[in-house]
Chain A
Amino acid sequence: MNLNNIKFSTKLIAVFGVMMVVILAANAVVFYSLEKVDRATQRNDVTYDLSMDVQNVYRGVIEQQNAVRAFVMGGDPDFLDTYRKQGEVVDKGLANFIARTASDEQRARAQRLSGVIKEWRAKSLEPYVNIGDDPLAREAAMLALSSRNLTAVRKEAQALLDGQAAMQETRVQETDAQVDVARMGIFGGAAIAMLIAGASGWLLTALIARPVVAMTGAMRKLAGGDNSVEIQGRERRDEIGEMAAAVQVFKEAGIEKVRLEKESAAQREAAEAERARNEALQARAAQEQAAVVDATAQGLEALSRGDLTYRITNAFPADYEKLRNDFNGAIGKLEDTMQSVVHNAHGIHNGSREITSAADDMARRTEQQAAGIEETAAALDEITATVRKTAEGAGEARQVMNSTKAGAESGGQVVRRAMTAMSGVEASAKQISQIIGVIDEIAFQTNLLALNAGVEAARAGEAGKGFAVVASEVRALAQRSAEAAKEIKGLIHDSTEKVDEGVRLVADTGSALERIIGEVAQINALVTEIAQAAQEQATGLQQVNAAVNQMDQVTQQNAAMVEESAAASHALAKEATTLSDLMAQFRLSGGASRAVAPTPAPAAAQPRNPVHAAQAKLTQMITTDPHRVDEWAEF
């Protein structure tokens, strides 16, 4: 990596960054050493406190011994309280030491001391605490207490204190070592920082100040007009490189300016030569133009006279030859067009004649159409009359049917009465038959009596002769009576049969009348349908009437249009003649244009209107008679 390609700001930041890192590292070493010194001092304080605790314990032990001795000597129980309080002080100090010490060895010693103290108390002090007022016992106790009892305790306590002193010594040594380290950090860091600062100053001078001075010299030469100066440091990518590139641009701009001044002088000389050449050419062109204008003016004069056969024959200068050709071509094209116009005018004339004859035909056909519509209206009239007759016939048929129905119903009543009468006759005949039966029976019995009388008369012999004659007469009467009864019976039988037949026939008549009534109803329905059909036909006729109206209007419009067509065809023929006259003013190579004689068109046929009469009749027939519609509606 080339240092010349790094920006000034980056260079400065890098130098100061390195110095800051060195200073931070030195400070970190010092801070670390001070922390360690602080921790060692704290531990030293604890060790000192614990040493004080051991001394307190030892003093408490001595206080206890003194208290017991005083109690034994004086008997004052206050010393017992002192003994107990000092015991608590000793136990608490020991417990505190065991809890706080950092050394396992010291903790073991403290525990051993605690055991020795307990043993000492139990053996040397407790037996004398409850001693009474006995002087002998007290004497013995005083003697016992005077001996050296604390040897073991003192030895252990001293060992503990020695241990504490050794630990304190170790702490002090550690603290001194850390202070040395901190001192080294401070002086070393300062030395390294100084070294780096010096190196950075030299490096920055080499990288920045020298190139800037060189650049300043180059710029001064450039300002004095020396464009040949070489710009150093253009390959660099820092601020010096950018400055070199800008100064290079100034240099190139100076070179370009000199070149442009030379070019503009050359161009001015060329323009001057061109202007002189142009003036000579313009003088010759003006001469040629005058000749061309003369020839063209002659051609246009001929054209204004209507002479389309004129052509410019003299050759023009080369630049104007196209003008001559175009003029001749335009005149030729105009002549062709005029010939076509004359031809077309002739065609238009012929066409207008054909249109006129077509208008005549159309007028004639419109007349025929009007006649057809008249016939249609007449036919419509007849149809309307027929429909009306149908409706009237249907009404009469209905009335006849009604009377027929009434007759049939009264006939049915007559039949029922006849049947009742027949029943009466039948009943009477039955009664007569019964009476005849009685008469017949009487005749039979009379006959039997007459026979018996005859038998008796025969038995009587000669005496009964006369009686026999009487009996014979009676028998004859009885027989006649029986025969008469038989005849009447036969007659009654015939009468009954005939009555039965009459009843049957009357019943047949009744059913026939019922059928007639039913059929009359059917016929009535049919007649109603006929009336409805007549109504529908009337509606249809109204529609037909409307259609005829429309046809009439269309015919009228057709007639008007035929008139307009005829007038237009006249105007067209007149225009064609005018066109031919205008064409005659032109002289054409194919000969003079022909004038077309206008042909008078026949007068447009005035269409008659025979439809209106029929229309009026039909309208009156259908719409002005509301009663007829009502009649039809009845059905």
Chain B
Amino acid sequence: MTLDNTIAAGRELIVVEIAAQRFAIDIMTVREIRGWTASTRLPHAPGHVLGMINLRGQVLPVIDFAARLGLSTSEPNAASVVIVAEIGDRLVGLLVDAVCDILTLQAGMLQATPEVGSPAVRTFVRGVITTEDAIVTLLALDAVIPEDEILAAA
């Protein structure tokens, strides 16, 4: 696994809340964080694609992150936040319930993903970070949103 190499100590992570769970995203993949605005729906799009939004003249797809992760979905509200992530060369909007923190990864904080007998979990999850009050799942964003799938969705 090459993932452990790319995530080193001192790296900063954005901690978001989805369906009352906390997930961490590498801050270097995040381009911008903005409030929820209404999206324009796309015909024949997959269920987790909410639609598209206009970001300073550039059109980018918005994905219901909870649906994509297989968690229970929630209706977007005024407190919802769209994280504009750069996956490959593409920009993708990820809908999350809230942004909780910016976490600086210390040595030894990151632990291996527990074995549950499902290869998909290992593909999606890079590792688990324990904090004082919760367990934060570090997501492999490029695995969660594959490039070709984004293209297909776009």
Q: Is the interface of B mostly helix, strand, loop or mixed?
A: strand
A150 at the interface (CB under 8 A from B): no
CA distance A84 to B102 in the complex (A): 197
A578 to chain B, nearest CB (A): 139
B46 at the interface (CB under 8 A from A): no
B135 to chain A, nearest CB (A): 22
CA distance A169 to B88 in the complex (A): 206
B24 to chain A, nearest CB (A): 13
B140 at the interface (CB under 8 A from A): no
Count class of interface residues, chain A: 10 to 19
Contact B102 A451 (CB under 8 A): yes
A444-479: CB near B (< 8 Å → 1, else 0) gives 110110011011001100000000100010010000
Q: Is the interface of A mostly helix, strand, loop or mixed?
A: helix
Contact B79 A455 (CB under 8 A): no
- Taking CB atoms and an 8 Å cut-off, the chain B residues in 15-39 that contact chain A are 27-28, 30-35
Q: In the complex, which of the residues B32, B35, B78, B81 contacts A455, with contact meaning CB atoms closer than 8 Å? A: B32
Find the A residue at minimum CB distance from B11.
Answer: A458
Contact B102 A454 (CB under 8 A): yes
Find the A residue at minimum CB distance from B102.
Answer: A454
A455 with B34, Cβ < 8 A, contacts A444-B79, A448-B81, A472-B102 known: no
Contact A458 B28 (CB under 8 A): yes
A455 with B31, Cβ < 8 A, contacts A444-B79, A448-B81 known: yes
Q: In the complex, which of the residues B28, B32, B78, B79 contacts A452, with contact meaning CB atoms closer than 8 Å? A: B32
A-B contact count, CB below 8 Å? 36
Count class of interface residues, chain B: 10 to 19
B35 to chain A, nearest CB (A): 6
B129 at the interface (CB under 8 A from A): no
B82 to chain A, nearest CB (A): 10
Contact A458 B12 (CB under 8 A): yes
Q: Chain B residues with Cβ under 8 A from A454's Cβ?
A: 12, 27, 102
Q: In the complex, which of the residues A441, A444, A448, A458 contacts B27, with contact meaning CB atoms closer than 8 Å? A: A458
B14 at the interface (CB under 8 A from A): yes
B31-52: CB near A (< 8 Å → 1, else 0) gives 1111100000000000000000
B77 to chain A, nearest CB (A): 11
Q: Can you identify 19 A-B contacts, CB atoms within 8 angstroms?
A: A441-B78, A444-B79, A448-B34, A448-B35, A448-B81, A451-B14, A451-B99, A451-B102, A452-B32, A452-B33, A452-B34, A455-B30, A455-B33, A458-B12, A458-B27, A458-B28, A459-B27, A468-B12, A472-B102
Residues of A at the B interface (CB closer than 8 Å) are 441, 444-445, 447-448, 451-452, 454-455, 458-459, 468, 472, 475
Given contacts A444-B78, A451-B102, A455-B31, 4 further A-B contacts (CB under 8 A): A455-B14, A458-B12, A458-B102, A468-B12
